[in-house]
Structure 1
Amino acid sequence: MSPFFSLSLQLIVIAYALVGGVFLAFSDFIMRALAQTGGHAGVEAMQAVNRAVFRWVFMTLFIGLAPVSLAVAASGFIVGGGPGVMLTLAGLIYAIGCFGVTVVVNVPMNETLARMDAASDTARAYWTEVYLPRWTLWNSVRTVACAAASGLLLLGLLWLAETQAA
């Protein structure tokens, strides 16, 4: 295994974990706190969060990891064996379970919320009846996907290093 390949995989493990940590914070306490605001304030706060998330650090990691994950998955086929399976699974789990879920579920919900007047009864009903439970559930899926991708990639990397050391 080349030092560049090894270092790249190590950095990807950290990146998966960082993205997963952001999602974990939302599933664990941020959404619960916003739910306790009584509706309108929660809607306003989440609308602000959804505008602020487009900062370069998070988006570079989040979006950049999508093609990187596909490359990790492909490299698993090249590596082969047990370590290769781990790499392939890690890449696919991030690409589908994190990036794919975001594009298909969370972003459309964010866009719907963004178009609403935070003070309206329609926004409050959407927030409490649809957005909070559904968005949080799928955000938790993203959290688990990031953790699984990070763990599988770490295990694959360790297995690969151990195989080559023997």
Structure 2
Amino acid sequence: MKFSFTAASATLSIIMAAGMAGTFFGFSTGVMPGLNGAKPASAIDTMQTINQRIQNPLFVGMFMLLPVFAAIAGVLLMTMNQKAAGLLFLAAAAVYVLGALFPSFAVNIPMNNDLDGVHIPKHAAEAAKIWQDYSGRWTAWNTVRAVSSWISLLAMAAATYLWGKN
């Protein structure tokens, strides 16, 4: 029973890390450059819609539960005398919390909330200023989230390799 719950926790955390890394990467390399190429008023409107729609149970669940499942896998591996693998899963959880969740709650989400409160200006220059102030900073911090998710995923992959060797 312990092995199957450990395997399930590890598998879920790996799937979630891959999903979050891909989501963050896709935004930084595709969505945001695409919006930057659109009219600023359209970019603001589209990002407001994205910010509202992304708050769904599947995304929020993956976003928030990834470090929980990674930590559970880490603790269970430690109880199975798989110390190195357990520590790597715990490190993966910590990296994700510090590199993805913390920037999300400290930077990206507050920026999204501020953008959601913007009434799209009729003047193109005003819209351009709002979008310019938002896009660069948001994308930079989103890229931090992507890289942190990749590091977390790599730590879990290394842990799984070590676990499989024993």
- 1:48-67 superposed Cα distances (whole Å, 9 cap, x missing partner): 10011112211111122243
Per the alignment, residue 127 of structure 1 pairs with 131
CA distance in 2, matches of 1:76, 1:103: 30
Describe the shift of the 1:53–1:116 C-alpha distance in structure 2 as closer, same or farther (beyond 3 A).
same
TM-score, normalising length from structure 1? 0.86
Does 2:147 align with 1:144? yes
Query: Residue type of the partner of 1:103?
Result: F
Q: CA deviation at 1:85?
A: 3.0
Structure 2 residue runs of 5 or longer lacking an equivalent are: none
- Percent identical residues: 23
> Following the alignment from structure 2 to structure 1, what is the Cα–Cα distance between the partners of residues 127 and 70?
36
Let me know the Cα RMSD of the aligned residues: 2.1
Query: Paired residue for 1:3?
Result: 4
Unaligned runs of 5+ in 1: none
Aligned to 1:22: 23
For 2:74 and 2:105, the matched residues in 1 are separated by: 20
Change (3 A) 1:69 1:104: farther
Report how many aligned residue pairs link the two structures: 162
| CA deviation after TM superposition for structure 1 residue 18, in Å | 0.7
The letter of the residue matching 2:21 is: G
Letter in 1 for 2:106: V
Query: What is residue 60 of structure 1 aligned with on the other side?
Result: 61
SS of the residue corresponding to residue 107 of structure 2 reads: helix
Q: Which amino acid aligns with 1:11?
A: L
